[in-house]
Chains A and B, each alone.
Chain A
Amino acid sequence: MDAIILQILNGLDKGSAYALIALGLTLIFGTLGVVNFAHGALFMIGAFCAVTLSRILSASHEVLVEGKTDFLGNPLKEDVPYVYDWFGESAGAAIIDWSVPLSILFAIPVMILVGVIMERGLIKHFYKRPHADQILVTFGLAIVLQEVIKYYFGANPIPTAAPEAFKGSFDFGAMIGLDPNTIIYPYWRLIYFCFAAIVIGCVFAFLQFTTFGMVVRAGMADRETVGLLGIDIDKRFTIMFGIAAAVAGLAGVMYVPINPPNYHMGMDFLVLSFVVVVVGGMGSLGGAVLAGFLLGILESFASMREVIDLIPGINQVIIYLVAIIVLLTRPRGLMGRKGVMEE
């Protein structure tokens, strides 16, 4: 029982990342009709926003330490962050400690900007081009973006910790009345799940309850008619691209303490997030979120020892197996619309 609850928690947590990325992909696809292979790269850039901010905050100057030497026998220099000088040591340390949550504020404008530049500079010229061309150009862009990141940050993962207060774990089982020590769960992963739920909720609310969102939804359903009504749908779509980029970026920022980011983390998620989108059904936001959590949970169950012992290798293929089964039983994924991306 508790093993199952535990894996559901894990699944929800994994699913959060899948859902957030798939949501952005679907937003772009649904509004602009563009298959964006650079979406994983946006996730990765978001993560590196957090790395960058924490580097900026801990920017240091060197101070000679008397009486100590480094490995070559030269006098040892120690780095002292500027924030220590400006705010005092304890306040400075607290700022550095909280760099990941602070990065959210930093990442939103950066990611919207990146998204808008991408859309205006490149993607908009590809609306009318075949999907194959869109794939090639966005894949090229993804490679370029990740190579640029690699050039500056290297190929090794960069550990960036959560604030001290959220490190470690707590006894979730005891909280819901199970025996103590059966379900131990890290704070940050729970925060990640809540954060994802809030972001997803915000996106849906934005589309559902604002005029802007209504126009965008109308545009997704029938772009030409909306255009004929004299509404500048292109401009709104550009903004939607920025929002989709920001969603991917935020997913990346908050992911940093879970796994140290590296330059190819976007590619690692790319294929998976496409599978999620398609299993959810092309063009369906709800489908993307649903499929994200579903695949996350199934993946977690498949990694249980009991399951692997029963079917060896199931943990290697579960996602793809589910994708095949879903697509063969439901022609357009879980919630896809007819005629979208079927030609």
Chain B
Amino acid sequence: MSKNFTRRGVLKTGAVAGAGLTLPTYLRAAGHEGFTNAPTGSTVTLGFNVPQTGPYADEGADELRAYELAVEHLNGEGDGGMLQTFSSKALDGTGILGKKVEYVTGDTQTKSDAARASAKSMIEKDGAIMITGGSSSGVAVAVQALCQEAGVMFMAGLTHSNDTTGKDRRANGFRHFFNSYMSGAALAPILVDQYGADRKAYHLTADYNWGYTTEEAVRSSTEALGWETVATVKTPLTQTDFSSYIAPVISSGADVLVLNHYGGNMVNSLTSAVQFGLRAQEVAGKKFEIVVPLYSELMARGAGENIAGILGSQNWDWKIENQLGSRYSGTNAFVKSFGEKYGFPPSQAAHTCYVQTLLYADAVQRAGSFAPCAVVEALEGFEFDGMGNGPTLYRAEDHQCFKDVLVVRGKENPENEFDLVEIVEVTPVDQVTYASDHPQFAGGALGTCNNGA
């Protein structure tokens, strides 16, 4: 090896060689604006990247409905929805910074590769300035990293893993949805309250990142309050029949089953658990209980009557303002415009996507610029209200929203397919707040915001 093949040497040669070729701007960025996909005309394009095929297609469809509604409201059509109740009054229904909002849609297929391909086409071809959506943490983390590289904003949709704002956090990415830790922290006191402090839990955990973080969160917060964890068993993602995992639970001595599953896995494992008569069992005089840390309306619908009486946590529910009062204002305004447009109430996935779009638009408006770094600055540490979750903070350290968490239970006698859960209690925000360097979130760094070109 010659002497100049040192690290510095390589860097220098690289820099010289690169200087000539990297001069061309990245993509369609207008050079003078200094950031990727700066909107030049009278419109601005947002990219809605949701699962349209695959098992989460229905959830994706609901997210898309919410996005379309948000675009309508931003452009001053319809009744304005949450713009009426939002504590920030920067938005005035004339689009964002006077530019009409347009959007493109794509299909994530709930695969990180496909999601990134779709997001890239929005950025490279359609000139999207912000990407939002998704229905799983794998996709959210993958697309968030992509947006960081490309220099556009990412407003996460439904993603619950700690990693999204933990070890995989990125400066250009923001999450409104709650996370595994919050589920654990919100559920634990209510579980103890409802089922007693002397309980033995058996965990079935989806064998991938989200499952791990959820199991850890629920485990550590319930153990802190006196519960014992009898066993944790990991189940493959591709498993469809959970009988062989459920059957041994009863003889293990456990009296609570925690299903750290989502989507189809959760529907099937819960159905099996109820079939095996777990809920009819008594262990040492205590009624056997099942807990599903992350609830979603669509999964509840998929599980049907088996969901009755099962506790879980949610980010938001469309009945919350009616039941718990005006602290959660914004809910009814949103439900009204969504319901009038589509004929049924929105899911929590739809809510978080709608809110994320408005929050982004508001941040741009307040910052006076579409440049990602300006938007990041406007969103960091932003406190707001009137979006259906009560007073909420977008924490600067990890770009995670902090707000109350709902603990819900499957209804025994639902009146219709949109009324499957009842709100048991709301865990106030203080109880679910954690330090940004909490061990469950360790190992990541936001980096600096990236404007791209």
Question: Which residues of B266-324 have CB atoms within 8 Å of chain A's CB atoms?
Answer: 267-268, 271-272, 275-277, 280-281, 298, 301-306, 318-319
CA distance A13 to B276 in the complex (A): 13
Chain A, 282-316, contact with B by CB distance < 8 Å: what is the 0/1 string? 00000000000000000110011100100000011
CA distance A133 to B238 in the complex (A): 28
- Contact pick for B57, options A10, A72, A155, A315, CB 8 Å: A155
- Contact pick for B302, options A70, A156, A304, A308, CB 8 Å: A156
Residues of chain A lying within 8 A (CB to CB) of residue B247: 6-7, 9-10, 184-185
Instruction: Indicate whether A154 sits within 8 Å of B241 (C-beta atoms), given known contacts A2-B251, A186-B276.
Output: no
CA distance A270 to B319 in the complex (A): 41
> Whole-angstrom distance from the CB of A245 to the nearest CB of chain B?
21
Contact assessment for A71 and B55 in the assembled complex, using a CB-CB cutoff below 8 Å? no
**Which residue, B54, B244, B416, has most C-beta atoms of chain A within 10 A?**
B244
18 A-B pairs with CB atoms under 8 Å apart are A7-B247, A72-B335, A154-B57, A156-B58, A159-B301, A159-B304, A159-B306, A161-B305, A167-B275, A168-B277, A184-B250, A259-B272, A260-B304, A264-B54, A264-B55, A265-B240, A315-B234, A315-B236
Residues of chain A lying within 8 A (CB to CB) of residue B57: 150, 154-155
Which A residue's beta carbon lies closest to that of B246? A10
Known: A71-B319, A186-B277, A262-B55. 9 other contacts (CB 8 A): A3-B248, A10-B243, A72-B335, A258-B271, A262-B264, A264-B55, A303-B233, A304-B248, A305-B233
> Whole-angstrom distance from the CB of B83 to the nearest CB of chain A?
19
> Whole-angstrom distance from the CB of B208 to the nearest CB of chain A?
11
> Whole-angstrom distance from the CB of B334 to the nearest CB of chain A?
12
- Contact pick for A7, options B244, B264, B280, B418, CB 8 Å: B244
Contact assessment for B277 and A260 in the assembled complex, using a CB-CB cutoff below 8 Å? no
CA distance A86 to B276 in the complex (A): 35
Chain B, 194-235, contact with A by CB distance < 8 Å: what is the 0/1 string? 000000000000010000000000000000000000010111
Q: Is A158 an interface residue (CB 8 A)?
A: yes
> Whole-angstrom distance from the CB of A96 to the nearest CB of chain B?
13
> Whole-angstrom distance from the CB of B154 to the nearest CB of chain A?
24
CA distance A303 to B238 in the complex (A): 13
> Whole-angstrom distance from the CB of B110 to the nearest CB of chain A?
10
> Whole-angstrom distance from the CB of A189 to the nearest CB of chain B?
7
Chain A, 148-179, contact with B by CB distance < 8 Å: what is the 0/1 string? 00100011111111000001110000000000
Residues of chain A lying within 8 A (CB to CB) of residue B319: 71
> Whole-angstrom distance from the CB of B295 to the nearest CB of chain A?
15
> Whole-angstrom distance from the CB of B247 to the nearest CB of chain A?
5
Residues of chain B lying within 8 A (CB to CB) of residue A265: 240
Residues of chain B lying within 8 A (CB to CB) of residue A2: 251
Residues of chain A lying within 8 A (CB to CB) of residue B250: 181, 184
Which B residue's beta carbon lies closest to that of A162? B275
Contact assessment for B277 and A184 in the assembled complex, using a CB-CB cutoff below 8 Å? yes
Residues of chain B lying within 8 A (CB to CB) of residue A71: 318-319, 335, 339, 345, 418-419
Which A residue's beta carbon lies closest to that of B280? A168
> Whole-angstrom distance from the CB of B304 to the nearest CB of chain A?
3
Contact assessment for B305 and A189 in the assembled complex, using a CB-CB cutoff below 8 Å? no
Q: Which 4 A-B pairs have the closest CB atoms?
A: A159-B304, A169-B277, A155-B57, A157-B302
Q: Is A139 an interface residue (CB 8 A)?
A: no
Instruction: Indicate whether A159 sits within 8 Å of B244 (C-beta atoms), given known contacts A71-B345, A188-B275, A264-B54.
Output: no
Which A residue's beta carbon lies closest to that of B243? A10
> Whole-angstrom distance from the CB of A16 to the nearest CB of chain B?
11
Residues of chain B lying within 8 A (CB to CB) of residue A182: 251
- Chain B contact residues (Cβ within 8 angstroms of A): what range? 35 or more
CA distance A160 to B271 in the complex (A): 11
Residues of chain B lying within 8 A (CB to CB) of residue A39: none
User: Chain B at the A interface: mostly helix, strand, loop or mixed?
Assistant: helix
Residues of chain B lying within 8 A (CB to CB) of residue A316: 207, 236
- Contact pick for A155, options B58, B272, B280, CB 8 Å: B58
Instruction: Indicate whether A159 sits within 8 Å of B248 (C-beta atoms), given known contacts A169-B276, A260-B267, A262-B55.
Output: no
**Which residue, A155, A182, A185, has most C-beta atoms of chain B within 10 A?**
A155
Contact assessment for A185 and B301 in the assembled complex, using a CB-CB cutoff below 8 Å? no
Contact assessment for B55 and A155 in the assembled complex, using a CB-CB cutoff below 8 Å? yes
User: Chain A at the B interface: mostly helix, strand, loop or mixed?
Assistant: mixed
CA distance A259 to B263 in the complex (A): 13
Residues of chain A lying within 8 A (CB to CB) of residue B234: 308, 315
Residues of chain A lying within 8 A (CB to CB) of residue B340: 72
CA distance A157 to B272 in the complex (A): 14
Residues of chain B lying within 8 A (CB to CB) of residue A70: 416
Contact assessment for B243 and A156 in the assembled complex, using a CB-CB cutoff below 8 Å? no
Contact assessment for B58 and A259 in the assembled complex, using a CB-CB cutoff below 8 Å? no
Contact assessment for A161 and B304 in the assembled complex, using a CB-CB cutoff below 8 Å? yes
Instruction: Indicate whether A155 sits within 8 Å of B54 (C-beta atoms), given known contacts A10-B247, A169-B276, A182-B251.
Output: yes
Contact assessment for B248 and A72 in the assembled complex, using a CB-CB cutoff below 8 Å? no
Q: Is B56 an interface residue (CB 8 A)?
A: yes
Q: Is B327 an interface residue (CB 8 A)?
A: no
Q: Is B99 an interface residue (CB 8 A)?
A: no
Chain B, 246-258, contact with A by CB distance < 8 Å: what is the 0/1 string? 0110111000000
> Whole-angstrom distance from the CB of A124 to the nearest CB of chain B?
31
Residues of chain B lying within 8 A (CB to CB) of residue A299: 244
Question: Which residues of A242-292 have CB atoms within 8 Å of chain B's CB atoms?
Answer: 258-260, 262, 264-265, 268-269
Q: Is A11 an interface residue (CB 8 A)?
A: yes
Q: Is B336 an interface residue (CB 8 A)?
A: yes
Q: Is B245 an interface residue (CB 8 A)?
A: yes
CA distance A72 to B304 in the complex (A): 24
Residues of chain B lying within 8 A (CB to CB) of residue A304: 244, 248
Which B residue's beta carbon lies closest to that of A160? B304
- Contact pick for A13, options B233, B243, B416, CB 8 Å: B243
Instruction: Indicate whether A315 sits within 8 Å of B235 (C-beta atoms), given known contacts A169-B277, A258-B241, A264-B55.
Output: yes
Residues of chain A lying within 8 A (CB to CB) of residue B318: 71
Q: Is A332 an interface residue (CB 8 A)?
A: no
> Whole-angstrom distance from the CB of B278 to the nearest CB of chain A?
8
CA distance A159 to B298 in the complex (A): 11
Residues of chain A lying within 8 A (CB to CB) of residue B55: 155, 262, 264
Which A residue's beta carbon lies closest to that of B298? A156
Contact assessment for A6 and B304 in the assembled complex, using a CB-CB cutoff below 8 Å? no
Residues of chain A lying within 8 A (CB to CB) of residue B306: 159
Residues of chain B lying within 8 A (CB to CB) of residue A157: 264, 267-268, 302-303
Question: Which residues of A68-99 have CB atoms within 8 Å of chain B's CB atoms?
Answer: 70-72
Which B residue's beta carbon lies closest to that of A159? B304
CA distance A303 to B53 in the complex (A): 30
- Contact pick for A158, options B56, B240, B302, B419, CB 8 Å: B302
Contact assessment for B275 and A189 in the assembled complex, using a CB-CB cutoff below 8 Å? yes
Which A residue's beta carbon lies closest to that of B304? A159
Which B residue's beta carbon lies closest to that of A312? B234
Question: Which residues of A1-56 have CB atoms within 8 Å of chain B's CB atoms?
Answer: 2-3, 6-7, 9-11, 13-14, 17
